[in-house]
Structure 1
Amino acid sequence: MLGLIISIIVVGIIAGALARLIVPGKQNMSIGMTILLGIIGSFVGGFLGFLIFGADAQDGFFQPAGIVGSIIGAIIVLIIWIQVRGRSTARR
């Protein structure tokens, strides 16, 4: 169980950091938010992988993805985060 938690955090760091490097612009996020971005991106990537490829159908649609799927999912989540956060700050 501890190994699973540590691996999820490591994948979160890698995927979140790479997503922040790939997406242009400045993102004001802490390391904790970067890890959370990567973890959420991993599940988004797993969901998209299930929808597109039907991979691991026995595990259901809510599953962690590999590192490439995690990065793609983290990029999608980061772009959505920037758009939602940008709209809320523009109204003030």
Structure 2
Amino acid sequence: MSVCVIIEMEGAHDWPETFAFTIIPAEKRPTALQPNREAADQEAKRLAERNPGRRFVVLEAVAVGMQISVPTHVSIEGKTLISGTIPALMALGDADDKIPF
């Protein structure tokens, strides 16, 4: 599954910066998730057609950072006695279905 968002980039060079991050102004933030790349491409073209001179960028999600459960204590027989969590970065195709998109 490939989820995308579209951002209207006109005037991006004037967007405020905080630390090392550029802040997307509220009126430029995405308001919908596109279910796949094809739908996002079509929507970006539709937006460009209705808003001449403006640029619409398609951003595609490729990875997710999340906590995963791992065994921390295992018996001699190989049974998990205690588990803990660690942060992990996984390609979206490798992550389980708990991701909300």
TM-score by length of structure 1 reads 0.28
Greater Cα radius of gyration, structure 1 or 2: 2
- More strand by proportion, 1 or 2? 2
| Greater relative contact order structure (CA < 8 Å, 6+ sep) | 1
Structure with bigger helix share is: 1
